[in-house]
Amino acid sequence: MKKNIILSLIAIMATTLSYAHNFKVVNPNDKDVDAIYLLENKTPFSFRGKTVSFEIDFSSAEIVEFDRDFRTVLRNFGSIDKYNADNGEDYVEDWPRDLFIMTAFACKNLSSVFGAEFVPKEYEGETDYRVVVRMGLFEFGHFVFIGGVKDGGTVTKGLVEVYDAGGNVLAVYDINYLRGKNVGYGNGDRVRLWGKKFSKEFKQAL
């Protein structure tokens, strides 16, 4: 009896400590598609009432086309620069605008969801936190209609890193094949709606 009580107290203490430090590690095999998971949280933080620098980093991204399971890569088009160049001058010229739209709408949605002020990384004022989305695999639309028109929202596999004002890593999250909304045929429409889905799932991950 005494042994059972001691074991119960140890279990309660372990749970309390885990909650107090807001720390957990997710087994990759337990993950569902279309979600964001906390991988590691070193220091508790809260965005509410704070100013947060936000950046979407495509520097290491690979632009792909997924199978309908949203995990299997059917085609890999290479880097974002190669993908745009292969698709013509319009893609190259439009990409800075599309990325700006993607970032701006993400900031708008994140600000609303977290009760904070999310601003693009170019913001020159002081910020309390910095959030960087590291794109790994990215698709602009997940299947093709007759005539080659892509339908479906974006699909994202990557990481989210949260830093404090001093540049220290506070937390890292896994974006597990997050699927965006399907509106319009242009890449600008799909990347605009990426922010709405990302904001919702990121909030749930916290």
Q: What's the pTM?
A: 0.79
Compute the distance between CA of residue 52 and CA of residue 122 in angstroms, rounded to an integer: 12
What pLDDT shows up at residue 70? 75
pLDDT, tens only, 151-184: 567 889 999 999 999 999 999 999 998 887 665 5
Secondary structure of the chain in the HEC alphabet? CHHHHHHHHHHHHHHHHHHHCCCCCCCHHHCCCCEEEEEEECCCCCCCCCEEEEEEECCCCEEEEECCCCCCEEEEEECHHHHHHHHCHHHHHHHHHHHHHHHHHHHHHHHHHHCCEEEECCCCCCCCEEEEEEEEEEECCCEECCCCCEECCCEEEEEEEEEECCCCEEEEEEEEEEECCCCCCCHHHHHHHHHHHHHHHHHHHC
- Residue 2 — φ and ψ, nearest 5°? -60, -40
Mean pLDDT to the nearest integer, 4-19: 33
Asked if residue 141 has pLDDT above 50, the reply is yes
